[in-house]
């Protein structure tokens, strides 16, 4: 086990096999962090001195606990958790199946809660840590045909702000990100017309990029004096409240 007083920081990234997840793994490694890559599928990563791939279904408490144990056994600390795992199962309310409602809520919201609950004890003991939740602009604005996704992502903002108030006294920061529409497998089914309409809602006339979002998240993870905030990373403009 490494000296917990080491300057080497440790981050756990859920949903690491996705488009944003892979970019986050790469950028944290490049910055000298030690990375735990959690993924709910066959591993696309190979273990290295600074990388620990772990099977991580965020809906299963036992898998989360095993991932935490493996992280602490290898590196002795947890400095950041990025709750990035997420899915969509779109349908209008009248056609939305109960199973699809529950699956989206379980992965996007309950999974973030379970992972946060699992790491918070270690962060409290360290009196240091940062949890970053990947939410969505849809949480604020709503999207037709995505009531399950929107409800989960809105719940994630509430979780962020409540946990920030609970954890602040122990020097644990909790923030949320609205990353914008990214070119990832989650948006692969969008038509060109849909992409154009989404881009046109940005005052810059374009969506954001995976590289820029991952850079922001890496920088935020190292910040010490920011908590309980929601950061929107594209150029859509909406009312303050």
d(CA 151, CA 46): 35
List the structure tokens of 46: 């190979």
- Annotated catalytic residue 57: no
List the structure tokens of 203: 């005052």
* DSSP symbol at 168: G
Query: Which H/E stretch holds residue 36?
Result: strand 34-39
Select which of 149, 155, 179, 213 is catalytic: 149
Bridge partners for 172 per DSSP: 129
Cβ count near 141 (within 10 Å): 13
d(CA 128, CA 167): 10
Catalytic positions? 149
């Amino acid at each position: 086990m490494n000296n917990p007083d080491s300057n080497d920081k440790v981050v756990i990234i859920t949903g690491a096999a996705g488009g944003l997840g892979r970019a986050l793994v790469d950028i944290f490694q490049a910055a000298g962090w030690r990375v735990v890559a959690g993924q709910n599928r066959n591993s696309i990563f190979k273990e290295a001195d600074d990388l620990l791939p772990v099977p991580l279904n965020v809906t299963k408490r036992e898998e989360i606990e095993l991932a935490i144990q493996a992280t602490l056994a290898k590196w002795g600390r947890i400095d950041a958790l990025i709750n990035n795992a997420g899915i969509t199962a779109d349908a209008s309310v009248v056609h939305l199946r109960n199973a699809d409602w529950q699956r989206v809520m379980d992965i996007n919201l309950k999974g973030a809660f379970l992972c946060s609950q699992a790491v918070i004890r270690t962060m409290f003991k360290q009196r240091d840590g940062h949890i970053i939740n990947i939410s969505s602009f849809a949480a604020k604005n709503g999207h037709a045909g995505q009531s399950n996704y929107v409800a989960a992502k809105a719940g994630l903002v509430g979780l962020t702000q409540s946990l920030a108030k609970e954890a602040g006294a122990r020097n644990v920061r909790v923030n949320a990100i609205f990353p914008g529409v990214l070119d990832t497998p989650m948006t692969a089914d969008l038509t060109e017309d849909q992409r154009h309409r989404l881009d046109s809602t940005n005052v810059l006339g374009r969506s954001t990029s995976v590289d820029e979002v991952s850079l922001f998240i890496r920088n935020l993870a190292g910040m010490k004096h920011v908590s309980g905030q929601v950061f929107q990373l594209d150029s859509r403009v909406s009312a303050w409240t």
